[in-house]
Chains A and B, each alone.
Chain A
Amino acid sequence: MASQVYFNGDFFEAAETASPGQSPTTHPAKWRRVPIPRDAATYLVAESYALIQTSDGQDDKARAAHRRSQEMLDRAIVAMRRFNSSPDTMTVLSR
Chain B
Amino acid sequence: MQLVPYDTVMRRTLSRLGEDYDGVAGQGTTGPDGQRWRDVRDAVAESLERWWLCAWWPSICRTEQRPLRAHYSPASAYEAGTEVFYQPTCSYYHAVRTTAGAAPATYADGEWTTNFAYWAKSARLYSAADYSDTTAYVAGDQVFYPLTAKWYQCHTAATGELPTDTDFWGELVEFIPTLPRTMAGYNAIGHVRSITHHDPRRFIETPRVDFNEVDTGWQVHEWVNHPWVTYRLRCPRLEGLAYDATATYTPEATEDASWSLPIAYQEGIQHIYNTTTGLWQPVILTGSDSEAQIGLGPGVSFLVAPSSSQSISSGEDVQFATVDAMKTTLLLDWARAACLNLEAGDGNWSYWVRTAETGLDATNPAIAELSDGSFARRLYP
Interface residues of A, Cβ cutoff 8 Å to B? 1-7, 9-21, 23-24, 28-29, 31-41, 43-45, 47-49, 51-53, 55, 69, 73, 76-77, 80, 88
Contacts and interface: CB of A to CB of B under 8 A. Distances in A.
From A23, A38, A40, A43, residue with most partner B Cβ within 10 Å: A40
Contacts of A39: 2, 57, 59
Contacts of B48: 36, 40, 44
30 contacts: A2-B240, A3-B250, A3-B251, A4-B239, A5-B240, A10-B5, A10-B7, A11-B236, A11-B238, A12-B243, A13-B240, A13-B259, A14-B251, A20-B246, A29-B275, A32-B275, A36-B4, A37-B57, A37-B59, A38-B3, A40-B52, A41-B9, A47-B46, A47-B51, A48-B40, A48-B43, A51-B46, A51-B47, A55-B39, A80-B58
B99 interface: no
Interface string B48-87: 1011101101111000000000000000000000000000
Nearest to A4: B240
B201 interface: no
Nearest to B240: A4
A33 B247 CA distance: 18
B54 A23 contact: no
B138 interface: no
A2 B237 CA distance: 13
Contacts of A34: 6, 236-238, 258-259
Interface string B217-256: 0000000000000000000111111111111111110000
A6 B275 CA distance: 17
B245 A21 contact: yes
Interface in B1-57: 1-9, 12-13, 16-17, 32, 39-41, 43-44, 46-48, 50-52, 54-55, 57
A48 B249 contact: no
From A19, A47, A53, residue with most partner B Cβ within 10 Å: A47
Contact of B240 (A6, A51, A77): A6
Nearest to B259: A32
A4 B41 CA distance: 13
A19 B40 contact: no
Interface string B149-183: 00000000000000000000000000000000000
B251 A15 contact: yes
B271 to A, nearest CB: 12
A35 B3 contact: yes
B290 interface: no
Contacts of B46: 47-48, 51
A20 B248 contact: yes
A4 to B, nearest CB: 3
B278 interface: yes
B127 interface: no
Contacts of B275: 15, 28-29, 31-32
A50 B169 CA distance: 63
Nearest to B278: A33
From B52, B238, B246, residue with most partner A Cβ within 10 Å: B238
Interface string B310-339: 000000000000000000000000000000
Contacts of A3: 240, 249-252
A75 to B, nearest CB: 12
B29 to A, nearest CB: 13
A2 B40 contact: no
Contact of A23 (B6, B245, B277): B245
B148 interface: no
A28 B237 CA distance: 20
A55 B184 CA distance: 39
B231 to A, nearest CB: 14
